[in-house]
Amino acid sequence: MNASKPKKCYIETYGCQMNVADSEVVTSILNEEGYELTQDMTKADLILVNTCSIRENAEQRVWGRLDVFRQIKEKNPHTKVGVIGCMAERLREKVVEREKSVDLVLGPDTYRSLPELLEEVDSGHKGINTLLSKEETYGDIVPVRTHKNNLSAFISIMRGCNNMCAYCIVPFVRGRERSRDPETIESEVRHLSQKGYKEITLIGQNVDSYNRKKGGKTLRFADLLEQVAGIDHEMRIRFATSHPKDLSDDVLKTMADHPNICRHIHLPVQSGSTRILKAMNRGYTREWYLNRIDAIRHHLPEAEITTDIMTGFCSETEEDHKQTLSLIEYARYDFAYMFKYSERPGTKAARKMNDDVDEQTKKQRLNEIIKLQNQIGAANKKNSIGKTFTVLVEGTSKKSNNDYFGRNSQNQVVVFPKNRVKPGEYVNVKIENSTSATLLGKVIED
Protein backbone atom coordinates (compact mmCIF):
# COMPACT_ATOMS: atom_id res chain seq x y z
CA MET A 1 0.00 0.00 0.00
CA ASN A 2 1.38 3.38 -0.96
CA ALA A 3 0.52 6.04 1.63
CA SER A 4 1.72 9.03 -0.40
CA LYS A 5 -0.48 11.20 -2.61
CA PRO A 6 -2.74 8.98 -4.75
CA LYS A 7 -1.65 8.46 -8.30
CA LYS A 8 -4.24 8.84 -11.03
CA CYS A 9 -5.32 6.15 -13.41
CA TYR A 10 -7.52 6.57 -16.47
CA ILE A 11 -9.12 3.43 -17.93
CA GLU A 12 -10.96 3.14 -21.23
CA THR A 13 -12.89 -0.07 -21.81
CA TYR A 14 -13.96 -1.60 -25.12
CA GLY A 15 -15.67 -4.87 -25.96
CA CYS A 16 -18.14 -6.95 -24.02
CA GLN A 17 -19.44 -7.02 -20.45
CA MET A 18 -16.55 -9.28 -19.48
CA ASN A 19 -14.18 -6.42 -20.18
CA VAL A 20 -16.32 -4.02 -18.16
CA ALA A 21 -16.14 -6.44 -15.22
CA ASP A 22 -12.40 -6.95 -15.73
CA SER A 23 -11.74 -3.21 -15.69
CA GLU A 24 -13.43 -3.17 -12.27
CA VAL A 25 -11.07 -5.92 -11.08
CA VAL A 26 -8.11 -3.97 -12.45
CA THR A 27 -9.34 -0.83 -10.67
CA SER A 28 -9.48 -2.79 -7.43
CA ILE A 29 -5.91 -4.04 -7.90
CA LEU A 30 -4.73 -0.51 -8.70
CA ASN A 31 -6.51 0.95 -5.65
CA GLU A 32 -4.35 -1.33 -3.52
CA GLU A 33 -1.35 0.19 -5.24
CA GLY A 34 -2.40 3.72 -4.34
CA TYR A 35 -4.10 4.66 -7.61
CA GLU A 36 -7.39 6.54 -7.92
CA LEU A 37 -9.53 6.63 -11.05
CA THR A 38 -9.69 9.84 -13.02
CA GLN A 39 -11.93 10.78 -15.94
CA ASP A 40 -9.28 13.15 -17.26
CA MET A 41 -6.62 11.32 -19.25
CA THR A 42 -4.39 14.39 -19.46
CA LYS A 43 -3.91 14.25 -15.67
CA ALA A 44 -3.30 10.51 -15.49
CA ASP A 45 -0.12 8.85 -14.27
CA LEU A 46 -1.33 5.65 -15.89
CA ILE A 47 -3.55 5.25 -18.94
CA LEU A 48 -4.98 1.79 -19.59
CA VAL A 49 -7.04 0.66 -22.55
CA ASN A 50 -8.94 -2.59 -22.08
CA THR A 51 -9.28 -3.96 -25.58
CA CYS A 52 -11.44 -6.24 -27.73
CA SER A 53 -10.48 -8.37 -30.74
CA ILE A 54 -13.86 -9.74 -31.74
CA ARG A 55 -14.00 -7.97 -35.13
CA GLU A 56 -11.36 -6.16 -37.10
CA ASN A 57 -12.98 -2.78 -36.53
CA ALA A 58 -12.79 -3.31 -32.75
CA GLU A 59 -9.00 -3.46 -33.09
CA GLN A 60 -8.87 -0.52 -35.51
CA ARG A 61 -10.53 1.64 -32.91
CA VAL A 62 -7.86 0.76 -30.33
CA TRP A 63 -5.01 1.67 -32.72
CA GLY A 64 -6.75 5.03 -33.10
CA ARG A 65 -6.90 5.52 -29.34
CA LEU A 66 -3.21 4.64 -29.00
CA ASP A 67 -2.41 7.58 -31.31
CA VAL A 68 -4.24 9.85 -28.87
CA PHE A 69 -2.48 8.39 -25.81
CA ARG A 70 0.90 8.79 -27.53
CA GLN A 71 0.22 12.50 -27.95
CA ILE A 72 -0.59 12.78 -24.24
CA LYS A 73 2.60 10.99 -23.39
CA GLU A 74 4.57 13.37 -25.57
CA LYS A 75 3.28 16.21 -23.36
CA ASN A 76 3.51 14.29 -20.05
CA PRO A 77 6.45 11.91 -20.46
CA HIS A 78 5.94 10.44 -16.97
CA THR A 79 2.55 9.00 -17.99
CA LYS A 80 2.56 5.24 -18.44
CA VAL A 81 0.41 3.67 -21.13
CA GLY A 82 -0.86 0.09 -20.93
CA VAL A 83 -2.78 -2.10 -23.37
CA ILE A 84 -4.72 -4.83 -21.57
CA GLY A 85 -7.39 -7.39 -22.48
CA CYS A 86 -8.11 -9.45 -25.56
CA MET A 87 -6.16 -7.49 -28.17
CA ALA A 88 -3.15 -7.35 -25.86
CA GLU A 89 -3.35 -11.14 -25.73
CA ARG A 90 -3.63 -11.52 -29.50
CA LEU A 91 -1.16 -8.88 -30.66
CA ARG A 92 1.37 -8.48 -27.90
CA GLU A 93 4.43 -8.32 -30.23
CA LYS A 94 2.74 -6.03 -32.70
CA VAL A 95 1.57 -3.66 -29.97
CA VAL A 96 5.08 -3.38 -28.53
CA GLU A 97 6.72 -2.99 -31.93
CA ARG A 98 4.29 -0.59 -33.48
CA GLU A 99 3.61 1.60 -30.45
CA LYS A 100 6.83 2.63 -28.77
CA SER A 101 4.79 4.65 -26.28
CA VAL A 102 3.20 1.50 -24.81
CA ASP A 103 4.83 0.55 -21.50
CA LEU A 104 2.57 -2.31 -20.38
CA VAL A 105 0.86 -5.20 -22.16
CA LEU A 106 -1.33 -7.52 -20.09
CA GLY A 107 -3.59 -10.34 -21.22
CA PRO A 108 -6.94 -11.02 -19.50
CA ASP A 109 -5.55 -13.62 -17.06
CA THR A 110 -2.58 -11.62 -15.80
CA TYR A 111 -4.05 -8.66 -13.96
CA ARG A 112 -2.68 -9.82 -10.63
CA SER A 113 0.81 -9.19 -12.01
CA LEU A 114 0.05 -5.51 -12.64
CA PRO A 115 1.88 -4.25 -9.49
CA GLU A 116 5.10 -6.09 -10.44
CA LEU A 117 4.85 -4.98 -14.04
CA LEU A 118 4.42 -1.37 -12.95
CA GLU A 119 7.67 -1.74 -11.02
CA GLU A 120 9.35 -3.13 -14.12
CA VAL A 121 8.27 -0.02 -15.98
CA ASP A 122 9.60 2.20 -13.17
CA SER A 123 12.96 0.54 -13.58
CA GLY A 124 13.03 1.34 -17.28
CA HIS A 125 11.69 -1.87 -18.85
CA LYS A 126 8.43 -2.78 -20.54
CA GLY A 127 5.97 -4.73 -18.39
CA ILE A 128 4.58 -7.61 -20.42
CA ASN A 129 2.55 -10.67 -19.42
CA THR A 130 0.09 -12.48 -21.64
CA LEU A 131 0.06 -15.94 -20.07
CA LEU A 132 -3.33 -17.59 -20.11
CA SER A 133 -4.43 -19.52 -17.04
CA LYS A 134 -6.61 -22.59 -16.54
CA GLU A 135 -7.70 -21.47 -13.07
CA GLU A 136 -7.75 -17.69 -12.77
CA THR A 137 -11.24 -16.31 -12.03
CA TYR A 138 -10.28 -13.33 -9.81
CA GLY A 139 -12.86 -14.84 -7.44
CA ASP A 140 -11.33 -13.31 -4.31
CA ILE A 141 -10.96 -9.79 -5.70
CA VAL A 142 -13.81 -7.44 -4.87
CA PRO A 143 -14.22 -5.27 -7.97
CA VAL A 144 -14.51 -1.50 -7.62
CA ARG A 145 -17.94 -0.81 -9.09
CA THR A 146 -17.89 1.83 -11.77
CA HIS A 147 -21.46 1.73 -13.13
CA LYS A 148 -22.74 5.28 -12.87
CA ASN A 149 -26.12 4.41 -11.38
CA ASN A 150 -24.85 2.56 -8.26
CA LEU A 151 -27.72 0.13 -8.76
CA SER A 152 -26.48 -2.37 -11.29
CA ALA A 153 -23.38 -4.55 -11.28
CA PHE A 154 -21.88 -7.32 -13.38
CA ILE A 155 -20.63 -10.43 -11.62
CA SER A 156 -18.35 -12.61 -13.66
CA ILE A 157 -19.21 -16.28 -12.95
CA MET A 158 -16.92 -17.90 -15.47
CA ARG A 159 -14.07 -17.06 -17.80
CA GLY A 160 -12.85 -18.32 -21.15
CA CYS A 161 -14.72 -20.48 -23.62
CA ASN A 162 -14.36 -24.07 -24.81
CA ASN A 163 -16.70 -23.87 -27.75
CA MET A 164 -14.43 -23.08 -30.66
CA CYS A 165 -17.00 -21.54 -32.96
CA ALA A 166 -15.17 -21.44 -36.28
CA TYR A 167 -15.24 -17.64 -36.63
CA CYS A 168 -14.48 -16.67 -33.05
CA ILE A 169 -11.30 -15.27 -31.49
CA VAL A 170 -12.52 -15.53 -27.87
CA PRO A 171 -11.15 -19.03 -27.06
CA PHE A 172 -7.72 -17.87 -28.29
CA VAL A 173 -7.62 -14.66 -26.27
CA ARG A 174 -9.52 -15.76 -23.18
CA GLY A 175 -8.36 -19.35 -22.87
CA ARG A 176 -10.12 -22.41 -21.48
CA GLU A 177 -13.47 -22.19 -19.78
CA ARG A 178 -13.43 -22.16 -15.97
CA SER A 179 -16.19 -21.53 -13.45
CA ARG A 180 -15.83 -19.32 -10.41
CA ASP A 181 -16.25 -20.57 -6.86
CA PRO A 182 -19.96 -20.15 -5.97
CA GLU A 183 -19.10 -18.98 -2.43
CA THR A 184 -17.35 -15.90 -3.80
CA ILE A 185 -20.23 -15.24 -6.21
CA GLU A 186 -22.80 -15.43 -3.43
CA SER A 187 -20.78 -13.30 -1.04
CA GLU A 188 -20.41 -10.68 -3.79
CA VAL A 189 -24.19 -10.68 -4.28
CA ARG A 190 -24.76 -10.28 -0.53
CA HIS A 191 -22.23 -7.49 -0.36
CA LEU A 192 -23.93 -5.64 -3.25
CA SER A 193 -27.37 -6.19 -1.73
CA GLN A 194 -26.17 -4.63 1.54
CA LYS A 195 -24.83 -1.66 -0.38
CA GLY A 196 -28.26 -1.08 -1.91
CA TYR A 197 -27.65 -2.52 -5.36
CA LYS A 198 -30.86 -3.63 -7.05
CA GLU A 199 -29.74 -5.51 -10.11
CA ILE A 200 -26.93 -7.91 -10.84
CA THR A 201 -26.01 -9.56 -14.10
CA LEU A 202 -24.19 -12.88 -13.95
CA ILE A 203 -21.84 -12.89 -16.90
CA GLY A 204 -19.77 -15.33 -18.92
CA GLN A 205 -19.39 -16.31 -22.58
CA ASN A 206 -21.64 -19.32 -22.04
CA VAL A 207 -23.27 -19.13 -18.61
CA ASP A 208 -25.30 -22.30 -19.21
CA SER A 209 -22.17 -24.39 -19.00
CA TYR A 210 -21.33 -23.11 -15.50
CA ASN A 211 -20.07 -26.16 -13.64
CA ARG A 212 -18.42 -26.24 -10.26
CA LYS A 213 -18.07 -28.86 -7.56
CA LYS A 214 -19.28 -27.88 -4.10
CA GLY A 215 -19.43 -30.23 -1.11
CA GLY A 216 -19.22 -33.35 -3.28
CA LYS A 217 -22.02 -32.17 -5.58
CA THR A 218 -21.79 -30.53 -8.97
CA LEU A 219 -23.37 -27.12 -9.16
CA ARG A 220 -24.83 -26.32 -12.59
CA PHE A 221 -26.07 -22.94 -13.80
CA ALA A 222 -29.68 -23.61 -12.75
CA ASP A 223 -28.46 -24.40 -9.21
CA LEU A 224 -26.35 -21.27 -9.06
CA LEU A 225 -29.28 -19.15 -10.28
CA GLU A 226 -31.52 -20.66 -7.63
CA GLN A 227 -29.06 -19.85 -4.86
CA VAL A 228 -28.33 -16.34 -6.06
CA ALA A 229 -32.02 -15.52 -6.56
CA GLY A 230 -32.77 -16.51 -2.95
CA ILE A 231 -30.34 -14.00 -1.43
CA ASP A 232 -32.44 -10.84 -1.82
CA HIS A 233 -35.91 -11.00 -3.35
CA GLU A 234 -35.80 -7.28 -4.06
CA MET A 235 -32.73 -7.74 -6.19
CA ARG A 236 -33.14 -8.43 -9.88
CA ILE A 237 -31.01 -11.18 -11.32
CA ARG A 238 -30.01 -11.10 -14.99
CA PHE A 239 -27.54 -13.24 -16.87
CA ALA A 240 -25.73 -13.34 -20.22
CA THR A 241 -24.81 -14.97 -22.47
CA SER A 242 -26.87 -18.12 -22.92
CA HIS A 243 -25.72 -20.59 -25.53
CA PRO A 244 -28.57 -22.24 -27.46
CA LYS A 245 -26.94 -25.66 -27.33
CA ASP A 246 -26.74 -25.54 -23.52
CA LEU A 247 -29.83 -23.58 -22.45
CA SER A 248 -31.68 -26.22 -20.42
CA ASP A 249 -35.32 -26.53 -19.37
CA ASP A 250 -33.99 -26.59 -15.80
CA VAL A 251 -32.76 -23.02 -16.20
CA LEU A 252 -36.14 -21.97 -17.63
CA LYS A 253 -38.00 -23.67 -14.76
CA THR A 254 -35.76 -22.02 -12.18
CA MET A 255 -36.49 -18.67 -13.79
CA ALA A 256 -40.23 -19.36 -13.72
CA ASP A 257 -40.00 -20.19 -9.99
CA HIS A 258 -38.28 -16.92 -9.09
CA PRO A 259 -39.98 -13.66 -10.03
CA ASN A 260 -36.77 -11.72 -9.35
CA ILE A 261 -34.92 -13.57 -12.12
CA CYS A 262 -35.59 -11.30 -15.06
CA ARG A 263 -37.82 -12.33 -17.94
CA HIS A 264 -35.19 -11.80 -20.55
CA ILE A 265 -32.96 -14.24 -22.39
CA HIS A 266 -30.15 -13.23 -24.69
CA LEU A 267 -29.82 -16.20 -27.04
CA PRO A 268 -27.41 -15.53 -29.90
CA VAL A 269 -28.51 -17.41 -33.02
CA GLN A 270 -25.86 -16.21 -35.55
CA SER A 271 -27.65 -17.83 -38.51
CA GLY A 272 -30.99 -19.42 -39.36
CA SER A 273 -29.44 -21.98 -41.68
CA THR A 274 -28.47 -25.38 -40.33
CA ARG A 275 -25.77 -25.69 -42.98
CA ILE A 276 -24.14 -22.43 -41.90
CA LEU A 277 -24.55 -23.24 -38.20
CA LYS A 278 -22.68 -26.46 -38.88
CA ALA A 279 -19.90 -24.62 -40.72
CA MET A 280 -19.73 -22.23 -37.78
CA ASN A 281 -19.42 -25.18 -35.38
CA ARG A 282 -22.22 -23.80 -33.24
CA GLY A 283 -23.36 -27.21 -32.00
CA TYR A 284 -27.07 -26.83 -32.83
CA THR A 285 -29.41 -26.86 -35.81
CA ARG A 286 -32.13 -24.43 -36.84
CA GLU A 287 -34.70 -26.89 -35.45
CA TRP A 288 -32.96 -27.15 -32.09
CA TYR A 289 -32.83 -23.38 -31.83
CA LEU A 290 -36.53 -23.06 -32.67
CA ASN A 291 -37.24 -25.69 -30.04
CA ARG A 292 -35.41 -23.52 -27.46
CA ILE A 293 -37.52 -20.52 -28.49
CA ASP A 294 -40.66 -22.63 -28.02
CA ALA A 295 -39.42 -23.82 -24.62
CA ILE A 296 -38.86 -20.21 -23.49
CA ARG A 297 -42.34 -19.20 -24.69
CA HIS A 298 -43.80 -22.22 -22.88
CA HIS A 299 -42.09 -21.76 -19.49
CA LEU A 300 -41.90 -17.96 -19.52
CA PRO A 301 -44.71 -16.60 -21.68
CA GLU A 302 -43.95 -13.02 -20.65
CA ALA A 303 -40.22 -13.20 -21.50
CA GLU A 304 -38.48 -11.15 -24.17
CA ILE A 305 -35.74 -12.73 -26.25
CA THR A 306 -32.79 -10.91 -27.79
CA THR A 307 -30.02 -12.23 -30.00
CA ASP A 308 -26.79 -11.77 -31.97
CA ILE A 309 -26.84 -12.33 -35.72
CA MET A 310 -23.85 -12.56 -38.01
CA THR A 311 -24.28 -12.26 -41.74
CA GLY A 312 -22.02 -13.21 -44.64
CA PHE A 313 -20.18 -16.10 -43.03
CA CYS A 314 -18.09 -18.25 -45.40
CA SER A 315 -20.20 -19.86 -48.17
CA GLU A 316 -23.47 -18.21 -47.05
CA THR A 317 -25.94 -18.22 -49.96
CA GLU A 318 -29.04 -16.17 -50.62
CA GLU A 319 -31.05 -19.20 -49.51
CA ASP A 320 -29.16 -19.37 -46.16
CA HIS A 321 -29.78 -15.66 -45.73
CA LYS A 322 -33.53 -16.14 -46.34
CA GLN A 323 -33.55 -18.78 -43.62
CA THR A 324 -32.03 -16.26 -41.21
CA LEU A 325 -34.76 -13.78 -42.13
CA SER A 326 -37.50 -16.35 -41.58
CA LEU A 327 -36.03 -17.38 -38.25
CA ILE A 328 -36.01 -13.73 -37.13
CA GLU A 329 -39.73 -13.58 -37.98
CA TYR A 330 -40.43 -16.73 -35.99
CA ALA A 331 -38.41 -15.73 -32.92
CA ARG A 332 -39.80 -12.18 -32.78
CA TYR A 333 -36.73 -10.79 -31.05
CA ASP A 334 -37.18 -7.64 -29.04
CA PHE A 335 -33.67 -6.55 -29.98
CA ALA A 336 -30.63 -7.88 -31.82
CA TYR A 337 -26.95 -7.08 -32.20
CA MET A 338 -26.26 -7.54 -35.90
CA PHE A 339 -22.83 -7.91 -37.50
CA LYS A 340 -21.07 -8.61 -40.76
CA TYR A 341 -18.68 -11.54 -40.56
CA SER A 342 -15.12 -10.35 -40.00
CA GLU A 343 -12.34 -12.89 -40.51
CA ARG A 344 -10.11 -13.31 -37.45
CA PRO A 345 -6.57 -14.63 -38.00
CA GLY A 346 -5.89 -18.06 -36.50
CA THR A 347 -9.51 -19.16 -36.22
CA LYS A 348 -10.70 -22.29 -38.01
CA ALA A 349 -12.64 -20.18 -40.48
CA ALA A 350 -9.54 -18.15 -41.33
CA ARG A 351 -7.38 -21.25 -41.71
CA LYS A 352 -9.74 -23.57 -43.54
CA MET A 353 -12.57 -21.62 -45.14
CA ASN A 354 -12.98 -18.92 -47.75
CA ASP A 355 -14.28 -15.51 -46.73
CA ASP A 356 -16.13 -15.63 -50.05
CA VAL A 357 -19.20 -13.44 -49.50
CA ASP A 358 -18.23 -10.09 -51.01
CA GLU A 359 -18.42 -6.92 -48.95
CA GLN A 360 -21.31 -5.52 -50.97
CA THR A 361 -23.42 -8.64 -50.41
CA LYS A 362 -22.57 -8.71 -46.70
CA LYS A 363 -23.68 -5.10 -46.44
CA GLN A 364 -26.89 -5.71 -48.34
CA ARG A 365 -27.81 -8.76 -46.27
CA LEU A 366 -26.99 -6.96 -43.05
CA ASN A 367 -29.23 -4.07 -44.09
CA GLU A 368 -32.10 -6.46 -44.82
CA ILE A 369 -31.66 -8.09 -41.44
CA ILE A 370 -31.53 -4.74 -39.65
CA LYS A 371 -34.62 -3.51 -41.46
CA LEU A 372 -36.66 -6.60 -40.59
CA GLN A 373 -35.47 -6.70 -36.98
CA ASN A 374 -36.24 -3.01 -36.49
CA GLN A 375 -39.79 -3.58 -37.73
CA ILE A 376 -40.25 -6.54 -35.42
CA GLY A 377 -38.71 -4.73 -32.45
CA ALA A 378 -41.05 -1.78 -32.99
CA ALA A 379 -44.15 -3.99 -33.42
CA ASN A 380 -43.18 -5.85 -30.28
CA LYS A 381 -42.99 -2.61 -28.31
CA LYS A 382 -46.39 -1.60 -29.68
CA ASN A 383 -47.85 -4.84 -28.33
CA SER A 384 -46.95 -3.68 -24.85
CA ILE A 385 -49.22 -0.64 -25.03
CA GLY A 386 -51.85 -1.03 -22.31
CA LYS A 387 -49.70 -3.38 -20.20
CA THR A 388 -48.29 -2.44 -16.81
CA PHE A 389 -44.69 -3.24 -15.88
CA THR A 390 -42.67 -2.97 -12.70
CA VAL A 391 -39.78 -0.70 -13.57
CA LEU A 392 -36.53 -0.19 -11.69
CA VAL A 393 -35.95 3.57 -11.92
CA GLU A 394 -32.39 4.26 -13.07
CA GLY A 395 -32.22 8.01 -13.58
CA THR A 396 -33.21 11.03 -15.63
CA SER A 397 -33.98 10.31 -19.28
CA LYS A 398 -31.29 11.43 -21.71
CA LYS A 399 -33.88 13.11 -23.90
CA SER A 400 -35.87 15.04 -21.30
CA ASN A 401 -35.14 16.41 -17.86
CA ASN A 402 -38.80 15.96 -16.93
CA ASP A 403 -38.69 12.20 -17.46
CA TYR A 404 -37.15 9.24 -15.73
CA PHE A 405 -35.99 6.10 -17.44
CA GLY A 406 -35.67 2.58 -16.13
CA ARG A 407 -36.08 -1.01 -17.26
CA ASN A 408 -38.73 -3.63 -16.89
CA SER A 409 -37.95 -7.24 -16.10
CA GLN A 410 -37.84 -7.92 -19.87
CA ASN A 411 -34.91 -5.47 -20.13
CA GLN A 412 -36.89 -2.98 -22.20
CA VAL A 413 -36.24 0.70 -21.55
CA VAL A 414 -39.28 2.48 -20.12
CA VAL A 415 -39.56 6.30 -20.01
CA PHE A 416 -42.14 8.13 -17.89
CA PRO A 417 -42.77 11.59 -16.40
CA LYS A 418 -41.01 12.18 -13.08
CA ASN A 419 -43.03 12.01 -9.91
CA ARG A 420 -42.28 11.23 -6.25
CA VAL A 421 -40.26 8.11 -6.96
CA LYS A 422 -36.47 8.15 -6.95
CA PRO A 423 -33.77 6.26 -8.81
CA GLY A 424 -33.29 2.87 -7.16
CA GLU A 425 -36.99 2.36 -6.47
CA TYR A 426 -39.44 0.06 -8.18
CA VAL A 427 -42.52 1.62 -9.70
CA ASN A 428 -45.45 0.35 -11.76
CA VAL A 429 -45.72 2.02 -15.14
CA LYS A 430 -48.62 1.64 -17.54
CA ILE A 431 -47.45 1.79 -21.15
CA GLU A 432 -49.26 4.32 -23.32
CA ASN A 433 -47.00 4.66 -26.32
CA SER A 434 -43.78 3.31 -27.82
CA THR A 435 -40.95 4.01 -30.21
CA SER A 436 -38.84 1.37 -31.96
CA ALA A 437 -36.61 0.93 -28.92
CA THR A 438 -38.48 2.42 -25.96
CA LEU A 439 -41.75 2.10 -24.04
CA LEU A 440 -43.42 5.32 -22.87
CA GLY A 441 -45.87 5.35 -19.99
CA LYS A 442 -47.21 6.81 -16.75
CA VAL A 443 -46.69 5.78 -13.16
CA ILE A 444 -49.68 4.03 -11.61
CA GLU A 445 -50.10 5.46 -8.12
CA ASP A 446 -51.09 2.88 -5.51
Residues that bind ligand SF4 (CB under 6 A): 161, 163-165, 168, 170-171, 205-206, 243
When binding is defined by CB under 6 A, the residue of 53, 79, 254, 323 that contacts ligand F3S is 53
Determine the Cα–Cα distance for residues 380 and 373; give it in Å rounded to an integer: 10
When binding is defined by CB under 6 A, the residue of 11, 46, 83, 86 that contacts ligand F3S is 86
Determine the Cα–Cα distance for residues 282 and 298; give it in Å rounded to an integer: 24
When binding is defined by CB under 6 A, the residue of 220, 236, 238, 243 that contacts ligand SAH is 243
| Contact yes or no for 279/313 (Cβ under 8 A) | yes
344 lines the binding site for ligand SAH (CB under 6 A): yes
Q: Positive or negative CA dihedral for 182, 183, 187, 193?
A: positive
| Contact yes or no for 79/73 (Cβ under 8 A) | yes
CB of 21: closest distance to ligand F3S in angstroms? 10
52 lines the binding site for ligand F3S (CB under 6 A): yes
Site for ligand F3S in 158-197 (CB under 6 A): 169-170, 173-174
Determine the Cα–Cα distance for residues 207 and 243; give it in Å rounded to an integer: 7
Answer with the entry of ligand SAH, ligand F3S, ligand SF4, none that 308 interacts with (C-beta below 5 to 8 A by kind). Answer: ligand SAH
Answer with the entry of ligand F3S, ligand SAH, ligand SF4, none that 173 interacts with (C-beta below 5 to 8 A by kind). Answer: ligand F3S
Strand pairing partners for 51?
85
Is the CB of 26 or the CB of 54 nearer to ligand F3S? 54
Site string for ligand SAH, 97-126 (x = CB under 6 A): ------------------------------
Answer with the entry of ligand F3S, ligand SAH, ligand SF4, none that 18 interacts with (C-beta below 5 to 8 A by kind). Answer: ligand F3S
Of 391, 246, 243, 249, nearest to 307 by C-alpha is 243
Determine the Cα–Cα distance for residues 142 and 28; give it in Å rounded to an integer: 7
Is the CB of 176 or the CB of 399 nearer to ligand F3S? 176
Answer with the entry of ligand SAH, ligand F3S, ligand SF4, none that 204 interacts with (C-beta below 5 to 8 A by kind). Answer: none
The DSSP letter of residue 445 is P
DSSP 360-408: HHHHHHHHHHHHHHHHHHHHHHHHTTT-EEEEEEEEE-SS-TTEEEEE-
Residues forming contacts to ligand F3S in the complex (CB under 6 A) are 15-16, 18-19, 52-54, 86, 169-170, 173-174
